[in-house]
């Protein structure tokens, strides 16, 4: 027995020794092989340079860039479509990785924070950048932009250049898209588009249940996304904005700039919740389960009289493969209100009284909401320098007018206009299939929003994702499902935002909020 035990131990020791020896030898072998490969590549490049006198060609040969964005097809589609062209030009291989929208913020943050760094660059909501910049995960792109004539930085509309792309005077993202919430209506059915939310509901009610596309089935008055955990949580502030903000962009709609008290427990937000809830009655029966992709498809298939969306419906409407409303679509600035919030009393007061609405047009206060800010590209500071250069070059290529001016006219891209040349050159849009009238109407609606002195900026303080995508989204969706009352929803958002503000530091959050609004 002892002999057998001895043999077992001896065998074990030998096996362990062999494994250890193998492990200790493995690393140098790999390094040796790597060196050989590198030499081969260098030699090949040298040969190529001698053969073709174009040394600038393929500057990123052998470089691979992993870019994460959300599960499309929008946004991912143009990146995937143009990646092979970029590779042919520069040699850089671009891999587009997609994750659900609700996971995108966390995936980027955890990937960078844990040091995994499996993503070299990100195409994401620029409002989240504050959470990536402060811990040092994002690459400062200011110098690269300054030395890059190809990107034509000055052509990008000032709002997207200064607000969406920059933080504390430095450039961190490259805009690929321009985003505003705006309204759409069926121009063959509606002569005069709604100016206020009350008019919007009136028209929606009128068309609810009527056959709008001639297929014999009843259709819907209004198609607006209301799905939880998707991209619907911005809509409540699109409705609330004209009731809350009337004194210009620097006033803000989320917090009182005196003490960071949330502006969600007042008559204006209450009215917005009522309107959003009533919209449900004039929409598809499963509206609580519809994301923006679903409502866009419903509008372009002729099933909705009205819709609220980003700029996407405008370009999707002219797609002959999917749209039946190509010449029946009108675009408008998001509806406004004839009464606004008195911030001191928390009650609504008429615009017609005194100087309540200095920017009102025909007595209607509009406050177009720059929701989201437009998909933008950022670079991971921890990536390899050559990879960072290639990632920036790819975003610059995507954003350059030669590519971008075409992409913003294609519905499936999800990219909406953000360059001045895209607004000025109407021929571009007519060439893409828009009638001259609709091109003027569509671009005019975006320009009206962009140029409004009362435009609403999106929330861009630390943890804005938790304020909006978690606390606000949960409470609003519970209210819309009839699970909680309006008062409970407002209290839940108020308490949740207050709790988070206190947790993160009220003074710091207030300073950050005032900073984004341009207040001191």
Partner 1 sequence: MEPTRQETATSTSATNKPKPTRKRPFSGKEGMASSVFIWPALLVVLLLSIFPLLVSLYLSFSRFKFVKGGFEVKWIGLLNYKKLLFGSEKTHFLGKMEQPTTLGWIIFIGITVLLIVTLIHYYRSDRRSTGGLIFRAIVYAILIAFAWLLVITTFSQGGRPGTMVVTWIYVFVGIVIQYAVALLLAVILTQQLPGRRFFRVIFLLPMMITPVGVAYLFRMLTDTGKGPFAPLWQAAGLGMYSWVNDPWGARIAIIIGDAWQWIPFMFIVLLAALEGQSMEQREAALVDGANRWQIFWNITMPQIIPVTITVVLIRMIEAFKIVDLPNVLTNGGPGTATESLTLHAYFSWRALDLGGSAAIAYSLLIVVTFFGIAYINILRRRFVEE
Distance CA 334, CA 83 (A): 35
- Near partner 1 by CB under 8 A: residue from 496, 501, 512, 517: 496
- Is residue 210 at the binding interface for partner 1, with CB under 8 A as the rule? no
Distance CA 301, CA 413 (A): 18
Query: Minimal distance in Å, beta carbon 208 to partner 1?
Result: 9
Cross-strand pairs, 255: 262
Using CB under 8 A as the binding rule, the residues of this chain from 334 to 353 that contact partner 1 are: none
Decide whether 208 or 421 has the Cβ nearer to partner 1: 208
Which has the closest alpha carbon to 124: 50, 196, 177, 59?
177
- Is residue 9 at the binding interface for partner 1, with CB under 8 A as the rule? yes
Neighbours of 123 (CB within 10 A): 26
Cβ atoms 237, 371 nearer than 8 A: yes
Cβ atoms 64, 387 nearer than 8 A: yes
Cβ atoms 353, 280 nearer than 8 A: no
Task: Give first-to-last CA distance, the chain, whole Å.
Answer: 85
- Is residue 449 at the binding interface for partner 1, with CB under 8 A as the rule? no
- Near partner 1 by CB under 8 A: residue from 87, 111, 120, 131: 131
Name the DSSP class of 515: H
- Near partner 1 by CB under 8 A: residue from 18, 113, 146, 424: 113
Query: Minimal distance in Å, beta carbon 470 to partner 1?
Result: 5
φ, ψ of residue 175 to 5 degrees: the values are -65, 135
- Is residue 505 at the binding interface for partner 1, with CB under 8 A as the rule? no
Angle between helices 385-399 and 76-90 (to 10 degrees): 120
Decide whether 166 or 492 has the Cβ nearer to partner 1: 492
Angle subtended at Cα 500 by Cα 497 and Cα 503, rounded to the nearest 5 degrees: 150
Length of the chain, in residues: 520
Q: Which stretch binds partner 1 (CB under 8 A): 50-58, 103-111, 386-394, 422-430?
A: 103-111
Structure tokens at 133: 């910049």
Decide whether 106 or 150 has the Cβ nearer to partner 1: 106
- Near partner 1 by CB under 8 A: residue from 228, 237, 388, 419: 228
Burial 359-390 (b: 16+ CB within 10 A, else e): bbeeebbbbbbbbbbbbbbbbbbbbeeebbbb
- Is residue 466 at the binding interface for partner 1, with CB under 8 A as the rule? yes
Using CB under 8 A as the binding rule, the residues of this chain from 232 to 251 that contact partner 1 are: none
Q: Which stretch binds partner 1 (CB under 8 A): 233-241, 311-319, 386-394, 476-484?
A: 476-484
- Is residue 470 at the binding interface for partner 1, with CB under 8 A as the rule? yes
- Near partner 1 by CB under 8 A: residue from 238, 409, 492, 501: 492
Structure tokens at 519: 């207040």
Decide whether 435 or 474 has the Cβ nearer to partner 1: 474
- Near partner 1 by CB under 8 A: residue from 127, 231, 287, 516: 287
- Is residue 170 at the binding interface for partner 1, with CB under 8 A as the rule? no
Distance CA 429, CA 446 (A): 14
- Is residue 20 at the binding interface for partner 1, with CB under 8 A as the rule? no
Distance CA 461, CA 6 (A): 68
- Is residue 17 at the binding interface for partner 1, with CB under 8 A as the rule? no
- Near partner 1 by CB under 8 A: residue from 316, 480, 490, 512: 480
Which has the closest alpha carbon to 235: 480, 496, 441?
480
- Is residue 209 at the binding interface for partner 1, with CB under 8 A as the rule? yes
Q: Which stretch binds partner 1 (CB under 8 A): 20-28, 138-146, 228-236, 451-459?
A: 228-236
Decide whether 180 or 299 has the Cβ nearer to partner 1: 299
Size of the residue set binding partner 1 (CB under 8 A): 50
Distance CA 117, CA 67 (A): 11
H helix runs in 147-266, sequence order: 158-159, 197-207, 235-244
> Contact residues for partner 1 (CB under 8 A)?
1-2, 5-6, 8-9, 12, 102-103, 106, 109-110, 113, 131, 134-136, 209, 217-218, 227-230, 280, 284-289, 465-466, 469-470, 474, 477-485, 488, 492, 495-496, 499
């Amino acid at each position: 027995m002892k002999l057998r035990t001895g043999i077992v131990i001896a065998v074990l020791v030998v096996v362990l020794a062999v494994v250890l020896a193998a492990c200790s030898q493995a690393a140098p072998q790999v390094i040796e092989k790597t060196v050989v490969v590198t030499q081969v590549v260098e030699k090949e490049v040298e040969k190529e340079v001698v053969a073709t006198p174009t040394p600038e060609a393929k500057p990123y040969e052998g470089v691979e860039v992993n870019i994460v964005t959300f599960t499309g097809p929008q946004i991912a589609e143009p990146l995937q479509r143009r990646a092979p062209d970029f590779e042919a030009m520069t040699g850089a291989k671009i891999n587009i990785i997609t994750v659900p929208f609700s996971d995108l913020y966390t995936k980027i943050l955890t990937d960078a924070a844990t040091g995994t760094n499996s993503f070299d660059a990100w195409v994401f909501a620029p409002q989240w950048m504050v959470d990536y910049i402060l811990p040092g995960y994002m690459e400062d792109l200011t110098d690269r932009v300054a030395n890059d004539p190809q990107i034509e930085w000055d052509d990008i509309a000032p709002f997207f250049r200064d607000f969406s792309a920059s933080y504390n005077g430095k450039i961190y993202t490259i805009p690929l898209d321009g985003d505003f919430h705006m309204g759409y209506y069926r121009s063959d059915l509606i002569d005069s588009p709604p100016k206020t939310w009350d008019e919007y509901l009136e028209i929606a009610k009128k068309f609810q249940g009527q056959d709008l596309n001639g297929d014999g089935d009843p259709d819907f008055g209004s198609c607006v996304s209301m799905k939880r955990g998707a991209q619907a949580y911005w809509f409540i502030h699109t409705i609330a904005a004209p009731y809350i903000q009337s004194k210009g962009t620097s006033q803000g709609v989320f917090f009182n700039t005196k003490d960071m008290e949330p502006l969600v427990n007042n008559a204006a937000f209450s009215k917005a919740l009522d309107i959003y809830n009533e919209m449900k009655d004039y929409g598809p029966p499963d509206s609580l389960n519809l994301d923006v992709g679903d409502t866009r498809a419903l509008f372009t298939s002729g099933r909705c009289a009205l819709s609220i969306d980003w700029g996407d419906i405008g370009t999707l409407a002219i797609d002959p493969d999917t749209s039946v409303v190509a010449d029946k679509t009108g675009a408008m600035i998001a509806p406004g209100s004839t009464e606004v919030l008195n911030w001191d009393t928390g009650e609504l007061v008429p615009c017609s009284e005194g100087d309540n609405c200095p920017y009102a047009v025909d007595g209607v206060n509009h406050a177009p909401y720059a929701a989201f800010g437009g998909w933008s590209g950022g670079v991971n500071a921890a990536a390899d320098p050559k990879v960072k250069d290639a990632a920036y070059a790819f975003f610059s290529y995507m954003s350059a007018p030669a590519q971008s001016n075409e992409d913003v006219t294609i519905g499936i891209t999800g990219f909406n206009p953000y360059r001045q040349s895209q607004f000025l050159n109407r021929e571009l849009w007519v060439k893409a299939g828009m009638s001259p009238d609709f091109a003027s109407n569509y671009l005019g609606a975006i320009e009206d929003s962009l140029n409004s002195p009362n435009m609403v900026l999106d929330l861009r303080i630390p943890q804005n994702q938790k304020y909006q995508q978690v606390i606000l989204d949960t409470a609003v969706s519970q209210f819309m499902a009839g699970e909680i009352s309006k008062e409970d929803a407002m209290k839940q958002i108020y308490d949740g935002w207050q709790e988070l503000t206190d947790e993160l530091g009220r003074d710091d959050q207030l300073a950050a909020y005032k900073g984004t609004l341009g207040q001191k």
